[in-house]
């Protein structure tokens, strides 16, 4: 039997051609860029990454315990991790229970930790997700969350009727009636969000629902509106639709999760920075899942990726610092 030599590294012509054509990929594989001596080839500027991470805000983090998914760290551990690298604030979202009460307690403990370790204090925020666990579109749940410091109100995600439709199941919580009008309990909730100057985060709703909700919320006096991860499969919008939502007054939040192909495309993100504009985009992580990087590490990778995509530090700063600060504070 004739022995054949098989060079696996030369077999995948598609990937090799991609590496050969993409200067950023070539650089990451150690290929010195044209015009640089092998003695003076530039290294990646990690100082810029740490500078951008310092003062950053992650407005979408998941912690344990969670009835829906296995999480790795609790809110205190994640807050301390973020405090260690100098982040300004973290926001905890829980599908199955309000985070407002626990973040209130965590804030006191992490303040003490920061003081003891001579670190700048970090702000810890929470709120309530209006899933079935809290009674769905329940004004009382919003009121209670606000009274104990809740800053954000997330519309139904796992229990949204559109989410159920996307996942091929029946039921779910409707935000509009058969005439495309906002259902009365949600109208009451939107009025409360406006009165309390809270953040309305529109989650796993359809594009049509999102446009109607933004318009009505603005009309009712809501100043802080976020469209939650419209780059993910359960809440997908086109970049052009994101631009419309931004023009209506919402921030568009891109969450890197774990950069999974079903939920992440660098090409789409870069396109959004150009069409939507960095002034209306928030870059956050949505991490905490057992299969994802930790939120701090994910934010670092997000910033590294943006730099490698050629996005300027000024624009990155808008998306990780300025815009989430304007949304929350």
pLDDT in tens, 218-245: 999 999 999 999 998 888 999 999 999 9
- Whether 123 is covered by a domain: the verdict is yes
- Whether 30 is covered by a domain: the verdict is no
CATH code assigned at 225: 3.20.20.140
Mean pLDDT calculated for residue range 266-276: 95
* pLDDT above 70: percentage of residues in the chain: 96
- Whether 278 is covered by a domain: the verdict is yes
Alpha-carbon separation of residue 286 from 55, 230, 254, 282, 293 (angstroms) = 18, 12, 9, 12, 10
* Average pLDDT of every residue of the chain: 92
pLDDT of residue 126: 97
Parent domain of 159? 54-328
- Whether 164 is covered by a domain: the verdict is yes
- Whether 6 is covered by a domain: the verdict is no
User: What is the reported pTM?
Assistant: 0.91
- Whether 20 is covered by a domain: the verdict is no
Inform me whether the pLDDT recorded for 258 exceeds 70.
Answer: no
pLDDT of residue 27: 73
Domain count, the chain: 1
**Virtual CA dihedral for 144, 99, 230, 190, nearest 10 degrees?**
10
**1-15, 37-51, 276-290: which has the highest mean pLDDT?**
276-290
Q: Is the dihedral of CA 111, 117, 118, 124 positive or negative?
A: negative
pLDDT in tens, 6-48: 666 666 777 778 778 877 777 777 777 777 887 877 778 899 9
Neighbours of 108 (CB within 10 A): 9
pLDDT in tens, 119-151: 999 999 999 999 999 999 999 999 999 999 999
Q: Which residues pair with 176 in a beta bridge?
A: 182
- Whether 39 is covered by a domain: the verdict is no
Euclidean distance between CA atoms 208 and 189, whole angstroms? 20
- Whether 125 is covered by a domain: the verdict is yes
């Amino acid at each position: 039997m004739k022995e054949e030599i098989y060079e696996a590294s030369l077999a995948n012509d598609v990937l090799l051609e991609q590496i050969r054509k993409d200067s950023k990929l070539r650089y990451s594989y150690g290929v010195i860029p044209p015009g640089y001596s092998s003695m003076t080839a530039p290294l990646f500027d990690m100082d810029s990454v740490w500078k951008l991470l310092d003062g950053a805000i992650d407005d979408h983090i998941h912690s344990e315990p969670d009835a829906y998914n296995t999480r790795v760290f609790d809110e205190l551990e994640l807050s301390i991790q973020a405090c260690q690298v100098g982040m300004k604030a973290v926001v905890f979202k829980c599908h199955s229970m309000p985070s407002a009460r626990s973040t209130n307690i965590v804030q006191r403990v992490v303040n003490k930790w920061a003081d003891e370790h001579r670190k700048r204090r970090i702000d810890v925020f929470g709120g309530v997700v209006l899933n079935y666990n809290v009674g769905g579109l329940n004004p009382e749940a919003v009121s209670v969350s606000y009274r104990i410091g809740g800053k954000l109100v997330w519309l139904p995600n796992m229990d949204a009727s559109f989410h159920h439709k996307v996942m091929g199941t029946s039921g779910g919580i409707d935000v509009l009636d058969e005439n495309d009008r906002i259902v009365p309990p949600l109208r009451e909730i939107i009025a409360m969000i406006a009165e309390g100057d809270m953040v309305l985060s529109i989650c796993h709703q359809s594009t049509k629902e999102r446009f109607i909700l933004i318009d009505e919320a603005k009309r009712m006096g809501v100043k802080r509106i976020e469209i939650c991860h419209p780059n993910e499969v359960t809440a997908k919008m086109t970049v052009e639709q994101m631009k419309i939502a931004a023009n209506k007054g919402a921030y568009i939040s891109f969450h890197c999760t774990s950069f999974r192909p079903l939920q992440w495309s660098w090409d789409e993100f870069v396109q959004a920075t150009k069409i939507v504009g960095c002034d209306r985009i928030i870059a956050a992580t949505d991490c905490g899942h057992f299969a994802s990087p930790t939120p701090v590490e994910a934010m670092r990778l997000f910033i590294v990726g943006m730099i490698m995509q050629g996005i300027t530090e000024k624009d990155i700063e808008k998306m990780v610092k300025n815009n989430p600060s304007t949304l929350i504070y």
